[in-house]
Structure 1
Amino acid sequence: MRTLAVLGAALACGISSLGAQRAHQFEFGAFGSFTRYDKVFNLDNQIGGGGRLGYFFTNVVSAELDAGYQSPNPKTGSASPTLAHGSASLVLNFGTARNLFYILGGYSRLDFEKTAPYRFTDNAVHGAIGDRTFLGDRAALRFEVRGFYTPNTGFAGGDWAGHVIGSLGLSVFTRSGPAADADHDGVPDRQDACPDTPVGATTDARGCPSDSDRDGVYDGLDQCPGTPAGARVNSKGCPADTDGDGVLDGLDQCPSTPTGASVDAKGCPADADGDGVLDGLDQCPSTPAGAVVDPAGCPLDADKDGVPDGLDKCPNTPPGAEVDDVGCQRFRDSDGDGVDDAKDRCPGTTPGTRVDAAGCGVIFETGKSALKPESFTVLDIVAQSLNANPEIRIEIAGYTDNTGSTTTNLRLSQARADAVRAYLGSKGVAPGRMVTKGYGATNPIAPNTTAAGRTQNRRVELHQLP
C-alpha cells in the first residue's frame, strides 16, 4: 500500500519536461516479472513474464495494454494456482531522449485458476513508475514497479487485497515518428553534441552551431555573415558604425569622428593642411601652414591684404596698400614727395613741393594769392582736423619766392595767408582760432635759382600756437 501512495503522489505531480520525439509511435515489449502477493492469498513470491503493446498519442501521453502470467506456490497446502492478469493504462512520459521516465495508472483484471480456494476473478486498479533506457532510436530497456489494489477480493475470507509486481524487459519502437530532435536542428538528440542549439542556426554533423565570421551570432541567424573580425555586432549579427565614418565599431580607433569628416583605415579623421579643421569638413583644404582659419577651415585676413592672419607680420596694413609676402607694406613714392603712394592723396605733386602727411601741399602761382586746386585736398584735411580739435589755435604763415620787391612780396605773402584762412573759415573753422602773417621771401626752403625751388618757396605753413 505504501507503493500505491507513492504512485498517487507521482500522478498528482506536473510534468516539467518533454520526452523524446515519440508521437505516433507504437511500443512492443516483453518482460520478466517478480510478484509479491498480498499475505491474504498465502502465496510465495513468484517469477513470471508477459508482454505489452503501447501507442504514443503525443510525446508525453501514451496508452498501453499488457498481460502477464505467474504460477505461484501456496505457502501451505498442495494446490498450486495460476494467475493471468491483463491491464489497460494511461501513461505520462517525461525525461530525456536517453532516459524516458513515466508514470501510469489504469484498470486490471486478475484471473486466478485452479481448485478452491484459488478459483476466482478480481477487478483491480493499478499504478506504476518506470524508466526506459534507450539502446538506440528504436530499442530500450524498461524497468517498472507496479502496485495492484483490489477493493473486494473474491478470495475466501478476504476483504481487500494488494500486491506488487516488479518487471524488467525490452521494448521496441516503430519508425512511425521522427527521430528525437529537441532543438529542431536536424540532428537526432542521441547524436547531438549541442542539444540546445537556437532554432534556425546552421549546425555541423554533430549538431553544433557554426559561426563563420566569429562575431558571436550563429550562421543561419546572422543577417550579416561576412562581418570583419573584431567588429561589434547587434543581435542580428550586423556591425554597427556609431559615428557613420565607414569604419565599424570595434575596429574604429576614433569612434566619435564628426559627421562628414574623412577618415583613414583606422577610423581616425585626417587634416592634410594641419589647420585644425578635419578633411571632409575643410572648405579650404590647402590652407598654408600657420594660417589662422575660420570654422570652415578657410584662412582669415583681418586687414584684407591677401596675407592670412597668423602669417601676416603686419596685421593692420591700411586698406589698398601693396604688401610683401609677409603682409608688410611696400613703400612706393611715384611723385617723389616722400609719401607712400598708398597714403598719398595728391599723387601728382610737382617734384620738390613741400607736402603734408597726405602728400599734398598748398601751392600758389607766381605773383598770385589765389589757391591752386591741388591745395584744396590738404586744406580740407586741415579743416577736418581743426574742427575735430576746437581747442587748437594756429598761425598761418605766408611765403613767396624772391621774384619782386620786398614790399610786394610781404603784401603777397600776407594775401596768401589770408586766402588760406578764408578757405578754412568756409569749412567751419572759427576765424578767431587763426592768425595770419606774411613773411615775404624770407626763410626759403629751396634755392630760388631754379623754377622748382621757387615753386617750393611759394607756400603757406601752419604752426600751432601755444
Structure 2
Amino acid sequence: NDRDEIMTHKTNPNKSDSDSDGLADGAELNTHKTDALKADTDGDGLSDGDEVNSTKTNATMADTDGDGLKDGDEVKSYKTDALKADSDNDTLKDGDEIVKHKTNPLKADTDDGSVDDATEVRNGTNPVLAEDDVPKKEVLKVEAGAPIVLEGVVFKTGKSDLSPESESILMKAFNTLEAYPQMAVEIHGHTDNRGSKALNTKLSLARAEAVKAWLVNKGIAASRITARGIGPDKPIASNDTEAGRQQNRRIEFFRLN
C-alpha cells in the first residue's frame, strides 16, 4: 500500500516501477528480492527486468554462473552464456579464457591447431598459436654416404631382440624415412671382437634385420631398407676395454641417396 511504499520501502506510490527497471515494485520486493529503488540491483550491467525476463540470470548475483565474468559483460561484450560457466565446453571457464589465457570462450580450439584450449593449457603449449599444437617430429640429420650411429638402440648380449628403450631413437629413424619418401638406406649391424667372427657377423645381421623389421612394421617399404651384418670388422673404439666394446656394438643408419 501507499503507506508501506512511503514509510518502509521508500518507493514512489504514484509509480508502479519506481526504478524503471521493467519490474513492478511489488514483484521486486515480494518475488525477486531485488532493490526496487535500484534498476540494477547486483551492479552487473543488466537491469533487473532484463535479468528476470530476458537473460534469465540472477538479478541479485552479478556473476550468475560463477565463471568470473559479470552477467552484463557476458551478454553484451563477450556474447557468452551467462548461465553456463564454460560456454564452449572446453573445460576452461569463460572468465579464465578471457582474463588469463586470452582464448576465445566461444571456441574450444581458439587457434584451430587441432588441440583444444584446455589440453594446450595443461600441456604448456600456446592456445592461441596453432604451430605448437602438434609437436614437430624429430628426424635424423643424415647425409648420403655418412653413417649415423643410432645411439640408444640396445640389445641384450648375444640377442637380436630390440629393447623398449630403443623406441625413441628408432622413431627418429622412422620419421626421417617418412619425411623423405625417396630416401633409401642401409642398416648396418656391428659387434665387438669377442667370440667367433662368423657368429658375430650372423648376430650383427640379425640385429640389423630386427631394426629393418621394426621400420617396415611401422609402414616403411621394405624395398627402401637393406640390412647388412658387418660383424667386428669396423670398430670405432678399442676392443680392449668394456667401454670401447660397448661403442663397437652398434647399429648405424646409412643413407644411400
Range class of TM-score, shorter chain: 0.3 to 0.5
Hey, which of these two has a bigger chunk of strand by percent? 1
Q: Work out which structure has the larger RCO, using CA pairs closer than 8 Å and 6 or more positions apart in sequence.
A: 2
User: Normalising to structure 1: TM-score of the pair?
Assistant: 0.30
Q: Which has the larger radius of gyration?
A: 1
Q: Give TM-score, length-normalised by structure 2.
A: 0.47
